[in-house]
A and B are shown apart, each in its own frame.
Chain A
Amino acid sequence: MILIALFAFGAVICIHVLFVRLLIKAKASFSPQIWLLYSLCIVNVISVVIVSRSDLLYHLLVLNALTYSYFHLFNMSDTARRIKLLILIHRGKNITNDNYSIESMIEVRLQRLHKMRQIYQDADSYYLRSYFLLGISFLFEGWKKILAR
């Protein structure tokens, strides 16, 4: 049972890597985070079909929790400011407004949210397309209050 859950988690990563490589080859504009979600959905569906009823809840809990952790690791490689700063230092670049300004940081995030279909642009203004990530952001705010932050 443990091995099947771990194997399924490995399958999510392999499918995601495959999707991303194919999409890069096709020169498509895509959100790798969304494709990780698609990869997880595929493995979840396969799991529902092949894992026995008695083990299914355990299997899905472990698989989805591990993938959620992996999502954060992947996201960190994509979005973390600290990693970006470390890479700039590694490349011998000075941390200046030219190579890491607030405007460029916001531009990158707006593009990413657009690719994730959370916002859309009309003329020069941005609007919400989906309430999904916004809802999660309010959950985070609520949890901060519970932790007295």
Chain B
Amino acid sequence: MNSIVITGIAIFFAILLIHIVVWNILRPKSEITALFALFIIFPAMMFIPMAIFASTAGVVEITLLYYALAAAYIQSYPGFKITIPSFKILQIIYEQRRSGAKKEEIAEKFDRHELIDDRLNLLVVDRLAIREGPIWVLTWRGKVLVYFFIFFRKKIYGMELGEG
């Protein structure tokens, strides 16, 4: 069992190392696609033949461990691309830890462009919404995402939709 754990973790860190080197040398234009290719597709090309042709013990277990770690990293990645507002708020409060930070002082450190306009532009880039004159309209992808989260929050958890 220890060899399975060591192998799964070693493969993950090897891919992570490649990721650091590639991102430092040439930053991919579409980072999420590149990340997906590096952490999901590339290892699958190794795991699938191993599972089919080789009699390597524990390939399925190694695959699950690797993908669990890779999924955790990929889910964290958006936080490395942008400044997470809650983290920024905590850092502002930390900087003013003696006197405390007032809500207005925190708001001053944010700008609408970074918080809202950039997010709206990303909806267009990701083809989740389009602008028709003054009105924003969801694409089918956007609708699928909205219905998924409505189902997830309301039907499964019985909660109101998130406040964003």
Q: Are B99 and A125 in contact (CB under 8 A)?
A: yes
C-alpha spacing A92/B98, complex, angstroms: 44
Number of interface residues of B (CB under 8 A): 74
Q: Are A89 and B119 in contact (CB under 8 A)?
A: no
Highest count of chain B CB atoms <10 Å: which of A65, A78, A133: A65
Q: Are B76 and A58 in contact (CB under 8 A)?
A: no
Given A113-B90, A147-B20: A87 and B75 within 8 A (CB)?
no
Q: Does B80 contact A (CB under 8 A)?
A: yes
- Name the distance in Å between A55's Cβ and chain B's nearest Cβ: 6
Q: Does A34 contact B (CB under 8 A)?
A: no
- Name the distance in Å between B2's Cβ and chain A's nearest Cβ: 7
Q: Are A89 and B137 in contact (CB under 8 A)?
A: yes
Q: Are A61 and B152 in contact (CB under 8 A)?
A: no
Q: Which of A68, A77, A81, A127 contacts B72 (CB 8 A)?
A: A68
C-alpha spacing A86/B143, complex, angstroms: 8
Q: Identify which of residues 89-118 in chain A touch chain B, using a CB-to-CB cut-off of 8 Å.
A: 89-90, 94-95, 97, 100, 102-103, 105-110, 112-113, 118
- Name the distance in Å between B88's Cβ and chain A's nearest Cβ: 8
C-alpha spacing A144/B158, complex, angstroms: 36
6 contacts between A and B (CB under 8 A): A21-B158, A58-B1, A58-B4, A82-B123, A83-B162, A125-B99
18 further contact pairs, Cβ within 8 A, besides A2-B61, A17-B156 = A5-B64, A32-B159, A58-B5, A61-B8, A62-B65, A65-B69, A66-B72, A77-B153, A83-B149, A84-B162, A86-B146, A94-B136, A106-B89, A106-B107, A108-B163, A124-B103, A127-B97, A137-B84
Interface pairs A-B: 3 shortest CB-CB: A84-B164, A125-B100, A137-B87
